[in-house]
Amino acid sequence: MHRRRSYLTKALSELGEVADAAALEPGRWADFIDLLRQKTLDSKVTFQVLDHEASKSLTIHSSGFMDSTLRNYADYYVRISPWRDLMIRSTIKRPVWSDHLLPPDEFRKTEFYHDLARPEGQMDSATGISLIKEGSRAAVLAAHYDGRFGQEMHSFVGSILQGIGGRMRQSLDINRVLAQATPRFRGDVSLLHALETPALIVTASGRVIASNQALADILGRNDAVAIGSGDLLRFGLPEVQALFLERLRHRGDGLRYQPPPDDLVLNHPETPMTISILPIAGPLPDTTGVGVLFPSPASFLVVLRPYGKADSVDEARRRLVSDFRLTQAEIRLVLALERGDSLGAFAEANNLSLHTVRTHLKSIFSKTNTHRQHELVALTGRLRR
């Protein structure tokens, strides 16, 4: 017992040193996995991302498995793995034994065992641990070994995984911060500089990556638009700033297609402008090493269209009545949309149903011969000139 405790202490110390180094050098995770295999008596080790909504797994690093086994597993067998969903649902940083999830006799009857695991030799038992969980995804570290020694190996391997799990998670958190702090946009910015209107490329947090001369020409004139500390893009009206950041977060959430929302309108007394936010198709996520845990952050093209010095709200109201015969209720909705309010927010603020507000908007579109909210906002901007 003393010898085993001494071995575990030394193993955890050596593994901890490599895990700590991997915090700033992600390439060292491969060394960590190789060392873990050695310290778990030459078991076979996988470090992977599992997702019960995905048809494939993403292997971060592995040691001991044949390349063909890893390819076949990622392409097909992960979908029929008897442990995948159970590992995703397992308690974070608590070792799980495959024999507890599925009895060995039952496991040996599966296609997964006969066609994938069996050719690897006596590797029909495993101990795994979830390190990171986000939605349907989990980062799972597992050691696979001979099931004939399952109980003893699970106790031994589980002690190592639980002992090193905290150090690994700490280093992975540092990896994440560094990955998200480093812009991965490497696109051609020649078009940006060719634009005559002020334009920028920003991250989902609003940090400016690149900007053109037209933007530089309007910076510093007033507080309508500025680049503040941390290179963050800031607008002079707090409500517009909040809507801008909300839209960046919404557009940067996931890889699903989202139709472009209407432009924001900044009714600044000195430099009114519309704000267009367009997502940029960046590089594919890093699919090697620990990079699979941290997809490339989204980036956006932001185009600012100043439309001259704003006239009074009263003038806009007068033109909406005289030129388009809008009612007072319809005018209030138009001006709210110009401020960047949503239909829902307008309905709530005016104690109206969303159905009523949409009826007003349909009438406004008909009277003004517009079809979308951004066209209506652009029209209102022209009325102020």
Distance CA 28, CA 13 (A): 16
- Tell which wins on pLDDT, 270 or 303: 303
Same fold, 2-181 and 190-306: yes
Cα dihedral 226, 232, 238, 244 in deg (nearest 10): 110
Distance CA 268, CA 140 (A): 51
pLDDT in tens, 292-321: 677 666 788 999 987 754 445 667 777 888
Structure-block tokens of residue 79: 């979908």
Q: Can you tell me the mean pLDDT for 327-354?
A: 85
Query: Of 204, 296, 203, 194, which Cα lies nearest the Cα of 249?
Result: 204
CATH 1.10.10.10 assigned to domain 313-383? The reply is yes
* Amino acid occupying residue 6: S
User: In this structure, what DSSP letter does residue 21 have?
Assistant: H
Helix (H, G, I), strand (E, B) or coil at 173: helix
On whether the CB atoms of residues 144 and 125 are closer than 8 A, the answer is: yes
Structure-block tokens of residue 88: 């995703």
| Phi, psi for 17 (deg, rounded to 5) | -60, -45
Question: What is the dihedral sign for C-alpha 203, 209, 214, 215?
Answer: positive
Range with the poorest average pLDDT among 131-145, 221-235, 291-305, 352-366:
291-305
pLDDT in tens, 46-74: 999 888 777 666 788 999 999 999 888 88
Q: For the chain, how far is it from start to end, CA to CA, in angstroms? A: 86
Q: Which pLDDT score, from 0 to 100, does residue 380 have? A: 79
Give domain limits for the chain. 2-181, 190-306, 313-383
Query: Of 15, 26, 18, which Cα lies nearest the Cα of 176?
Result: 26
Distance CA 68, CA 216 (A): 55
Residue 19: pLDDT band with limits 50, 70, 90: very high
Distance CA 330, CA 364 (A): 7
Distance CA 45, CA 17 (A): 19
The residue behind tokens 């974070």 is 92
Average pLDDT, the chain: 84
**Percentage above 70 pLDDT, the chain:** 86
User: Could you count the other beta carbons within 10 Å of the beta carbon of residue 257?
Assistant: 6
Strands (E), 228-371: 233-235, 264-266, 273-280, 299-306
Q: Can you tell me the mean pLDDT for 269-293?
A: 71
On whether the CB atoms of residues 243 and 340 are closer than 8 A, the answer is: yes
Specify the pTM. 0.58
Q: Which CATH number fits domain 190-306: 3.30.450.20, 3.40.50.720, 3.90.550.10, 3.90.420.10?
A: 3.30.450.20
On whether the CB atoms of residues 332 and 320 are closer than 8 A, the answer is: no
Helix (H, G, I), strand (E, B) or coil at 44: strand
| Phi, psi for 75 (deg, rounded to 5) | -80, -30
pLDDT in tens, 146-189: 989 999 999 999 999 999 999 999 999 898 887 766 555 555 66
User: Could you count the other beta carbons within 10 Å of the beta carbon of residue 49?
Assistant: 19
Q: Which CATH class is domain 2-181?
A: alpha beta
